[in-house]
Structure formats: C-alpha cells, structure tokens
Structure 1
Amino acid sequence: MPALGARPPRPSSGRRGRLRIYLAAAPGAGKTYAMLNEGHRRKSRGTDVVIGYVETHGRPRTAEQIGDLEIIPRKKSAYRGLTLEEMDLEAVLARRPQVVLVDELAHTNVPGSRHEKRYQDVLELLEAGIDVVTTLNIQHLESLNDIVANITGVRVRETLPDWILDQADEVELIDISPHALRQRMKHGNIYPRERIDAALNNFFREGNLTALRELALRRTAEKTEAQLQQYMASHRINKLWPACERVLVGFDHRPHSRQVIRDAWRLAHSLQAQLIAVSVEPTGFASVTARLVRLLKYGRRLRAEEEAARRRLEAHALLAEDLGAEVLHVRSPDIAQALATIARERRVTLIVLGLPTRHRWEELLRGSLVNRLLRLSNDIDIHLVPRRPESEAEDSSSSHT
C-alpha cells in the first residue's frame, strides 16, 4: 500500500470498485442515514450489500435505518488498556460483497491496524473491485484545515487528502440549512443532552455552519464542474454548454480597465455568475510590437510610463480581487488566443472588454483584438465597455504620474 497521503496506482487489470461519497458541512446533517438508505435501495435491486462500519452516535433513527442490512462484525483491538473497535478489513475482503457501506471516511485507525487511516482501507476495497459508499464532513479535507480552524476556532486532527474526493465516482451533498441543523441539535438528535449547549455555543454557531455550508457547496460544485469537463472531453464536445453563467473580463494597465472591471462585476452580479479577471502579458513578437507602440507614444518618458503601468496593473488586479473575482495572469504571444482558450477551458458565457481606442498605426502594428476574439469565440457573447468621462479623467490624471 502507498505511503499515507500518496495516490495509489490504478490497477492494471480487473474492475476497480466505484466510490460514492456523501458529503456534508457538519455532523448531524444526515450522511449516515443517506448511506444506509442507499444500501437498502441497492439491496432491493438484488445487489449484495454489507455494512463494513457504521457509527450511529446513539441516534435512534439512524440505528433503525440499519434494518436487515448484513453487518460485518467489527474487529476488536486492545490499546492502552482499552478495547477499541474498527472495521474488519480482512473479513470484508474475504466476504467479497458487491457493495460495502463504510462510515466516517476520515477516521484514524487504532495503532497496529493494517492501515493508519480508514480511507486507505477503502482504497484497498476499491482495488479489490468492491464498490464503497461512505461519508465525509467538509472540515476533514486537508486543504481546508487552516480555513476551518480560522472559521470555527477548532483544529480538526483527522484529515484526508483532497484527491480522495477528486477521484470519487460520485459525490452527493447532504445539504441542510444552519437553522435546521441547530434545531436538530436542540432537540437532542445529534449529541447527548449534556453536550448540546457547548456545541451550540462553539462549533455549531450559525455563522460557523453558514461558512462550512458554503465550503461544502463550493467543493461539490467544483467536483461537478470537473466531471462535466471530463465528460465533454471524452465525448469530444467542443460546443459551449452554458450550464451556469461565467463572466470573463480582460484587463491591462490602462486606466480604462478600472471601469471595465467594475462593469463586468455588475454584469456578473446581475447574472449571479462567477467572475474571472484575466490579464495577458504579451511575449515574443507581440511583446516587441507592444514596446514599439509605447516607445512611439511616450518617447523619453517610456521608462517612467512603464513603471506607472506596472503599478496600475497591480491596482487593477487588486480591485478585481476585492470585488470577488478569480484573477489570472498569463503570458502569451497572442492575447486574443489566450483569452479565447481560457474562456473555453472555463466554459465562459460572456467576455467583457474595454472598447478599443487605438490609433490607426496601433491597429497596423498589433491588429484588432476584438475582431480576432470574435472569430476565435463565435459562440461566446462579447460585451464592449465604452470609455466614459470619468474614465477619461482617470486616464488623464494617471498619465502625469
């Protein structure tokens, strides 16, 4: 078995099991209940299903949901004077069911177990061709460990690498509003009575739950996005599928970019769309012609203007970040091609640019960005932002910096 955290090699032959993860923002959302319900659904279709490990946490409704599902007895291990129970991996492998239900994917096994972490047990089951249905709370993802600690004030000790979630065949979000989850807690449906007040005043504060819910929603959306991209690539689908709105705004060092970024944000906000801000640094011949244009325009003031342009570009990127945009800086000999490529890769539905105000000699040297972009992205809408008086005032004042 690979070292802790390492990706296992894909089996060279034979069927690999499929992994389904029920993901939630916090304990008590209903992951285990959903996992057991899925087990009953598959069993009713004639599938051989067993429970490898389930943790009911003393919740009567969860325990009742086990019903007539076959349970593989747990393996008992002595540790520091205690008798601890873990999933009996060897027994599950010997039983060879079609599907095994394994609760709490991020769990750390008792020292001396076959693997240090339960997710490693699950990987071995998958390599043996057994399908696994499991559960996970968002705070257990390694990449979110610091974020969760900052939100909740609690450092989660049991984590697993993000690629486990990335490689899952199915991820289903078990979503519940923070208010409803707190009500479950108050009614004693999550923790014992003696733990309720402390939980409500700490980890289960409404603000914490709202932030954790947003993390879970985003992570699930990213997984869905990746699966859609993989499907489109495997089926050689090049046409844009606008499953959701995404706005790309191109910006550079020119003062007009501030207005363009603000207009793009307003459009994205009205469409409830993600905003991606992209600056392209020209390379090769494009870099030479860009510098020649600046030399013709500024002459001996070129060095000072280039420093001012660098500061403006940084300020524009910061503005985009402050507005919540994802900011990308790329280098390319072809600005239009770079923007079109990013737009297609990110399945952008609208591109926002500043209306060009080039002199004729600039067009001859550099060509028309808008015309090339129109040809390269003919199924993506392009919105051009004209220069308004306030933008011209900014341009005039900044040209003297």
Structure 2
Amino acid sequence: MTEERTPERLTLRRAEVPADAGPARGVHKIFVGMAAGVGKTYRALNELRERLERGEDALIGVLETHGRAGTIEAAQGLPLFPRRDVVHGSVTLTELDVDGLLARRPFVVLVDELAHTNAPGSPRDKRWQDVNVLLDAGIHVLSTMNVQHLESLNDTVARLTGVRVRERVPDRVLSEADELVLIDLTPDDLRARLRAGKVYGPEKIEQALGNFFTGANLTALREIVLRQVANVVELGAPDGQPGVQEIVVVAVTAEETAARLIRRGGQLAARLHADLHVVSVRPTRLSRPQSQLLDTFRAITHALGGQFEVLTPAGSVAQTLIRYVEAVHATQVVMGETSRSRWAEFLSGDIIKTVLRDTKNVDVYVITRE
C-alpha cells in the first residue's frame, strides 16, 4: 500500500549565528497541519529516509503511528531509538529517551507529536521541552504538531469546534523554529481519507465526521493554520520590523475567564509584533484558589512570550492600572467586562470608564464575558 503525498507549502526561517557564538544550536524543522491525518508524520518520515540515503546519522526518537497503515509502511526500515520506561503506579509508560539521545548524539532525530504531555515523574512535563534540550545540545530535530495545540489559539479553536484542547504548545516554539513545513489538505480530501479508514479505525469514523472533522470545523482550522504560518514568516522577515514599538497590556482579575483575555491579548500582540504585559492588581485578601489562578495566568503569559506582574495597589485599581500603562508606554490595553454589581461600581467607580477617560494615545479593547 502506498499512501499519497499531501500537497504542502514550505516556508523557511533561518537565524543568523554570530561567528563568536558557542556550540551551534540544532535546527528545528516543524511539520504543521490543521488536524490529524493530513500527513505530517508521513512527510517527516520520508524526509528522515532521504537524509539517511544522503549519509546522515538520522533516527526516530518517538513515533506515534496510531495504527495508520501508511505511516507504519513509511517507517519500515528506519532506525528507531528505544524509548525510556516510566513506571507510574502499576502502569509502565514509554517516553522519549532524551539522556540516551544526548549520549548517542545522532545528527538528526524525528520527534513526533510535539504537544504531547510526558508521563508523571519525567524530567520535563512536555515533549517540546525535551526537544529544546536536544536542540541546545546541537542535535537537529524534525517534529510534528497540529495548529490547534498553539496556546494563543486555545479559545478560538474551542469556540469554532466545540473542543477544548488540553495539550498546548507555547507560540514561541513555532515562531523560534528554523523551518516550517505546512502540510496542506482540503477539508473534503481529509474527510475522504477519514471515510477510507486512513485516519481512524472503523469504529471512530462516523463519530469523528460528525464532531471534530465537520466541513465547517476543518475549513476554519485550515484558515487558522494558513494565517498562523504566514504570521510567523512575516515576523521572521528582515524588513518586517514595525516603525513604532507596540506594547499590549492585558488587565486581569483572579477569575477563570481571565485566561481568555490573556490569549486574546497574545493574539493581538503577535499581529502587532508587540511586547505583551499581563497585570493584575492585588486584592486586599488573596484566597488560595485566587493565588492558584494567578499562577496559571503567569504560566499562560510566559507561554505566549509575555511578562506577568501582580501590582500593589496605590490608590484605586483604575489609578494603579493607569500608572502602569503610562510607565510601560502601552499602546493597547485589553480589559474584560466587569463582573461587579452596579452598586459596587457606583461605590468604587467603573474601572473601564476611568481607564478610557484618563489614558491618552492608547487603544482600549473591552472583551465581553460570553
């Protein structure tokens, strides 16, 4: 059985390395697509085979075939590095053996499914973190991922498809990649592959076609991945630097809905090539759940390449926020609709109205709570 090669679009981004730099970092090449089944792993395996034929020391570090006949056939005969066993309770799981690869030091290694979460007890939580260790050691990496796993797109994908993706990759992983290969397939072609049993087993086909793999969902995801790769390439272009440095400030409170604000701010910052600042004015009393939420927001902000700060109030919340906006010379402010009662707003003042009134040369975005 021979699996057809999918249409693809290749984009290259290479960073210049100073002559006096230390050991060269490995080249990271990511095969990215709109959904499972478009042929990312198949294409990466073909490249690994081509590299072997050129005489390069190339091997598979992690391969997830999901039982797909075309992927299994493409991997036949390729050297496979043993995985590391991780014992978790009564279950033994296997993960990428980073230490083994560092000792073996191949020229290039294939690491499938970049967004994967490692088994509990692993040295690092995420597979993309393992890949960074290999790259820092000078090992080149071929990896794969779907666009819906990008951190900043989490809310957008959930809104469009009704599916909340749990395993996420920081946007900087994609933007810092040396090469991107977009594996592009039309929604109709992907649904045809699904019906033919090339993506999932027979028992999952109808459910997948009626849920995640609807024509509307795939069309939206395809548009997202095309735009995302275009944005990354534009950011890497030598003449793509903006004349004025944009700075986006996202103001959040310790509420669960704030995660969506941060991601929206991250998308805005990416489009404007801007610095991202996420701030929260510390309440008088911070409960344990609120403290945990702020830790989560800090992690999301860092994943989006921004910085997170908890501000000590000096005057009202609005005044504290305005001073911060002025201090960092913000050009954009993202805020959410208030969850406070009208009586509380009457007593303390409307924060949004105050920020709108007392800031100059700043665009203020107010995001609805729904």
| TM-score, normalised via structure 2 length | 0.59
In the alignment, is residue 170 of structure 1 matched against residue 162 of structure 2?
A: no
In the alignment, is residue 107 of structure 1 matched against residue 116 of structure 2?
A: yes
Shift of residue 331 of structure 1? 5.6
Give yes or no for contact 1:142–1:161 (8 Å, CA) kept in 2: yes
Shift of residue 114 of structure 1? 1.3
Higher helix share goes to which structure?
1
Distance of 1:189 and 1:162 partners within structure 2: 29
Shift of residue 179 of structure 1? 0.5
Per-residue CA deviation, residues 133-184 of structure 1 (Å, 9 max, x unaligned), is 0001000000000000001111100001000000000111000000010011
Spell out the pairing of 1:115-264 with structure 2 (5 A cutoff): 115-227=124-236, 229-230=237-238, 232=239
Q: Which structure: larger Rg?
A: 1
Distance of 1:131 and 1:189 partners within structure 2: 29
Give yes or no for contact 1:171–1:223 (8 Å, CA) kept in 2: no
Per-residue CA deviation, residues 308-367 of structure 1 (Å, 9 max, x unaligned), is xxxxxxxxxxxxxxxxxxxxxx969xxxxxxxxxxxxxxxxxxxxxxxxxxxxxxxxxxx
* Residue in 2 that maps onto 1:5: none
Give yes or no for contact 1:77–1:85 (8 Å, CA) kept in 2: yes
Shift of residue 206 of structure 1? 0.6
Letter matched to residue 104 of structure 2: R
* Residue in 1 that maps onto 2:42: 33
Letter matched to residue 42 of structure 1: R
* Residue in 1 that maps onto 2:250: none
Shift of residue 44 of structure 1? 1.4
Shift of residue 80 of structure 1? 3.4
For structure 1, the residue ranges without an aligned partner over 5 or more in a row are 1-9, 235-275, 277-329, 333-401
In the alignment, is residue 94 of structure 1 matched against residue 103 of structure 2?
A: yes
Distance of 2:64 and 2:110 partners within structure 1: 11
Equivalent pairs, count? 228
Shift of residue 85 of structure 1? 1.3
Letter matched to residue 121 of structure 1: D
Distance of 2:22 and 2:198 partners within structure 1: 45
Shift of residue 68 of structure 1? 2.2
In the alignment, is residue 56 of structure 1 matched against residue 65 of structure 2?
A: yes
Give yes or no for contact 2:59–2:80 (8 Å, CA) kept in 1: yes
Q: Partner of 1:173: helix, strand, or coil? A: strand
Distance of 1:125 and 1:97 partners within structure 2: 10
RCO greater where, 1 or 2, for CA within 8 Å and sep 6 or more? Answer: 2
Stretch deviating more after TM superposition (84-93 or 166-175):
84-93
Letter matched to residue 140 of structure 2: D
Identity %: 50
Letter matched to residue 31 of structure 1: K
User: Deviation above 6 Å: which 4+ runs of structure 1?
Assistant: none
Letter matched to residue 54 of structure 2: R
Q: Partner of 2:141: helix, strand, or coil? A: strand
Q: Partner of 1:171: helix, strand, or coil? A: strand
Distance of 1:80 and 1:198 partners within structure 2: 32
For structure 2, the residue ranges without an aligned partner over 5 or more in a row are 1-17, 242-271, 273-359, 363-370
Q: Partner of 2:123: helix, strand, or coil? A: coil
Stretch deviating more after TM superposition (66-75 or 97-106):
66-75
Shift of residue 12 of structure 1? 5.8
Letter matched to residue 164 of structure 1: V
